[in-house]
Chains A and B, each alone.
Chain A
Amino acid sequence: MSWLIGVMLVMSALSGWLVVLSRDPKRQVYAICANGLVLATLFFVLQAPDVAFSEIAVGTVIVPLLFLITLAAVAMNKARQ
């Protein structure tokens, strides 16, 4: 199964690069979600189910949600000024 680990490592490198390449914060949120999912699959393939649990719950749900709320608050603040 070594090809699977190699594929997941390359995909995580690509998804991390994609997070940096998305300059608009509204688009970066989706890149962060994808990055979290790819990383969780990588951790699962590296025989670490606890870490994959953590990464799915945090990297796919909580961190993008916080980003979205912050962006909404920033837009609201800008509209108010």
Chain B
Amino acid sequence: MTSRWRLILLLPAFLVLAAAAAEVILGLPAFGDPLTRYGTAVNTLAPALRNVSNVVASVMYDIRGIDSLGEESMLVCAVTAAVMLLRGRRGEDSSEEAGRIPGRAQGERMDAMVLMCRLFATALFLFGAYVVLHGTITPGGGFQGGTIAASSFALLYLGGGYAVWRCLLHSPVLVALEGFGALAFVLCAAVPLAFGYTALQNVLPLGTWKDLYSGGLMVIVNAAIGVAVIGSFGALLLEFMEETRAPKGRVDEEDT
């Protein structure tokens, strides 16, 4: 259908949606009104019940932990599907030759940039691990720290080039990390169930307030999600980068 027909069909849909949106906007409570009762209850009870100072982490990994289990499996499914789609056409091996677009300039890498990228990639990975480990105390957690540590892989590629990057990151290791993280989360939910408690119940001792170990089972769940997110995004970046290599057995242009 042509683009004009699409716009003609979009207009009545927008009018209906705008009317509904206006009705909803006028009916919602004003911005900044006092909280819902669930939020107030969580804010009042969670620090005492779970001994954590990051209430958002306690909601995510303990009070609504089943939702995070669902989100984690969504992450694993999406990454598996993307990797399968990309590998299905290309195969599993990696290529040595970089893909080239004819007519594009290829510059040299400066030593200063390589050094800075290596330094900052290490610092970034350590910072991501710090954010993961301190998830129950300060703002942070498995999801956030995992993505920060995964973005250090991008810095490694920018600094060292593809050959260095492939030496450091191996696809089976990343995929195993992702699977291990997801499995650890599922075990945290299943093992209390096997012993007669409810799923994901906090069966470990709760630890001390504002300490690195606080929150009981939340610490293991946090670390599992961090490891899984690092593995997921690393595997994703790896598969996408492989798409930009020349196919095996063919050299597009002369490689310098």
Contact = CB atoms under 8 A, between A and B. Distances in A.
B236 interface: yes
B244 A62 contact: no
B144 A53 contact: yes
Nearest to A52: B139
Interface of B: 54, 56-57, 99-102, 131, 139-141, 143-144, 147-148, 150-151, 154, 233, 236-237, 240-241, 243-244, 252
Interface of A: 49-50, 53-54, 57-58, 61-62, 65-66, 69-70, 72-73, 75-76, 79-80
Interface of chain A, main secondary structure: helix
Given A53-B144, A62-B233, A66-B236, A76 B151 contact: no
Chain B contact residues: helix, strand, loop or mixed: helix
A80 B131 CA distance: 43
A53 B139 contact: yes
B202 to A, nearest CB: 20
A49 B101 contact: no
28 contacts: A50-B54, A50-B56, A50-B57, A50-B140, A50-B144, A53-B139, A54-B143, A54-B144, A54-B147, A57-B144, A57-B147, A57-B148, A57-B150, A61-B147, A62-B150, A65-B237, A66-B236, A69-B241, A69-B243, A69-B244, A70-B240, A70-B243, A72-B244, A73-B240, A76-B100, A76-B101, A76-B244, A79-B102
Contacts, number: 57
Given A57-B150, A73-B240, 9 more contacts: A50-B56, A50-B139, A53-B144, A53-B148, A54-B147, A57-B147, A57-B151, A73-B243, A79-B101
A66 B236 CA distance: 9
A53 B141 CA distance: 10
Contact of A61 (B100, B151, B236): B151
A53 B240 contact: no
Nearest to B82: A66
A54 B57 CA distance: 13
A64 B245 CA distance: 19
